[in-house]
Amino acid sequence: MRILVITGAGISAESGTPTFRGKDGYWRNFDPTNLATPKPFARDQNLVWEWYCERRHQIREAKPNSAHDAIARLSISAREFLLVTQNVDDLHARAGLAKEKMVQIHGDIFVTRCSRCDFSRIEPEQEHSPSVTPARSDSAASEKLDRFKRASLKDEEYAEVPRCPACAALMRPGVVWFGEQLDTKKIEIVENYLNRGSCDLVLVIGTTALFGYIVDWALRARGENGELIEINPDETPLSSLATKCIREPAAIALPQLISKL
């Protein structure tokens, strides 16, 4: 079978990582759908970084659930397979899904990247704060940082807000915030997969399907004859276009569904 799977925050809900719009979505008094935008970061980087550090910690503590496991099994048995996930967590990978069979279309929460240049890095397992300590021996970068520090930052702020070791601009989480453009290289991977032919099966799991490109990819992948199955306890804009809707949590529905394929 040729398969496309699209997942959203709902597939990780049963691993204990809350969805944005669910009942546990709020962080302190903030609505995550407002926090995950460029505006709050421009106003208060400490606050936004604190939120992301907590989420990183929460994700590291979480384990893949039986829905992530079932998708990893499906990826092995399928003739052709691609997962497009809106999730920034690493639970699909930790369930055993090969990196080359998935696209994290909204980025990766464990990546920290510069808001100005191309510098990025993957955060190590043991991360206590997102602070960047400049390599003092790297003279050009550290001079730039020192100049920047003297010019605009108090010492305690400098210790908390990560700065790029290459250009001293603010570092930010490597995720796509609401209103930002998707990475064109990642779009290309999805488009190439769709252009090579339609799918026998499209699964759309745990997403509100509010982004037009998600609905578009799901419908194009299904083509004329493919099956489009939505797995979500709630109705979404995609429901009426699906060939079948399973109104159950993903960790219950998916292992059953996949064992029957």
State the residues that interact with ligand NAD by CB under 6 A: 8-10, 12-14, 17, 19-22, 86-89, 106, 206-208, 231-234, 236, 249-250
Within 8 A by CB and 6+ apart from 54, the residues are: 27
Q: CA-to-CA distance for 144 and 169, rounded, in angstroms?
A: 10
CB of 124 to Zn ion, least distance (A): 19
- Considering only residues 171 through 210, tell me which ones interact with Zn ion, judged by CB under 5 A: none
Which CA distances in Å does 103 have to 146, 165, 171, 201, 229? 38, 28, 23, 18, 20
- Considering only residues 112 through 151, tell me which ones interact with Zn ion, judged by CB under 5 A: 114, 116-117, 119
245, β-bridge pairs: 230
Closest CB to Zn ion among 30 and 119? 119
106 part of the active site: yes
Per partner kind, with CB cut-offs from 5 to 8 A, the member of Zn ion, ligand NAD, none near residue 87 is ligand NAD
170, β-bridge pairs: 163
Per partner kind, with CB cut-offs from 5 to 8 A, the member of Zn ion, ligand NAD, none near residue 207 is ligand NAD
Q: CA-to-CA distance for 116 and 196, rounded, in angstroms?
A: 35
Residues catalogued as catalytic: 106
Residues of the shown chain interacting with Zn ion in the complex, contacts defined by CB under 5 A: 114, 116-117, 119, 164, 166-167, 169
